[in-house]
């Protein structure tokens, strides 16, 4: 339920702290630090800090929305066509800095959505409210937790 998902999101930074920054996942091209920085980026889309304008048809938007809000997991090696094929180079000097940056962005997410009427734009699926973002972030974090053997 929603409170379990919120608790999971809030516990995620501490789950990440033990990872070796150079560790590779069970699939994909990102190392652990790149994955953490990727989560920071995706959380900043949820907060509305990063805007990605994507021209999507109503059909594609509806399809993405349906999947994002479903209980179906992301497949291994799912790609985001708004991101380059090769992972971004790390931008933080250490894993600790990367996790701290992620935690700051996650705290910003919870603080921004204290106003329960607030919505921000998901570039694939349109307007999302707090509950919808929590559901999607939970699904996304869980996907990367599986990738790096955190659960």
Domain encompassing residue 68: 2-147
**pLDDT per position as a tens digit, 93-141:** 999 999 999 999 999 999 999 977 899 999 999 999 999 999 999 999 9
- What tens digit of pLDDT does each residue of 32-44 get? 999 999 999 999 9
Where residue 117 sits, what CATH number does that domain have? 1.20.120
pLDDT at residue 48, rounded to an integer:
93
pLDDT band, very low/low/confident/very high, at 142 (cuts 50, 70, 90): very high
Helix (H, G, I), strand (E, B) or coil at 7: helix
pLDDT of residue 61: 87
CA distances from 2 to 9, 11, 133 (A): 11, 14, 11
Alpha-carbon distance 58 to 1, whole Å?
29
Lowest mean pLDDT among 3-17, 77-91, 114-128, 132-146: 77-91
* Position 82 confidence tier, pLDDT thresholds 50, 70, 90: low
Q: How far is CA 42 from CA 22, 58, 59, 123, in A?
A: 21, 22, 23, 11
Of the candidates 84, 103, 82, 81, the one whose C-alpha atom is nearest the C-alpha of residue 92 is: 103
Closest CA to 102 of 137, 150, 78, 143: 137
Whether pTM > 0.85 for this model: the answer is yes
State how many domains the chain has: 1
18-27, 48-57, 76-85: least confident range: 76-85
Q: Show the tokens assigned to 33.
A: 């630090």
Q: What is the average per-residue pLDDT within 73-94?
A: 83
């Amino acid at each position: 339920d929603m409170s379990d998902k919120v608790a999971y999101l809030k516990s995620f930074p501490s789950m990440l702290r033990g990872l070796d920054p150079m560790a590779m996942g069970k699939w994909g091209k990102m190392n652990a630090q790149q994955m953490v920085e990727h989560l920071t980026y995706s959380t900043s889309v949820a907060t509305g800090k990063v805007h990605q304008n994507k021209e999507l048809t109503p059909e594609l938007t509806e399809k993405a929305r349906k999947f994002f809000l479903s209980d179906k997991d992301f497949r291994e090696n799912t790609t985001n066509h708004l991101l380059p094929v090769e992972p971004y180079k790390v931008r933080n000097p250490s894993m600790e800095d990367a996790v701290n940056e992620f935690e700051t962005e996650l705290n910003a997410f919870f603080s921004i959505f204290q106003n329960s009427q607030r919505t921000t734009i998901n570039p694939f699926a349109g307007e999302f409210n707090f509950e919808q973002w929590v559901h999607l972030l939970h699904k996304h974090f869980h996907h990367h937790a599986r990738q790096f053997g955190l659960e």
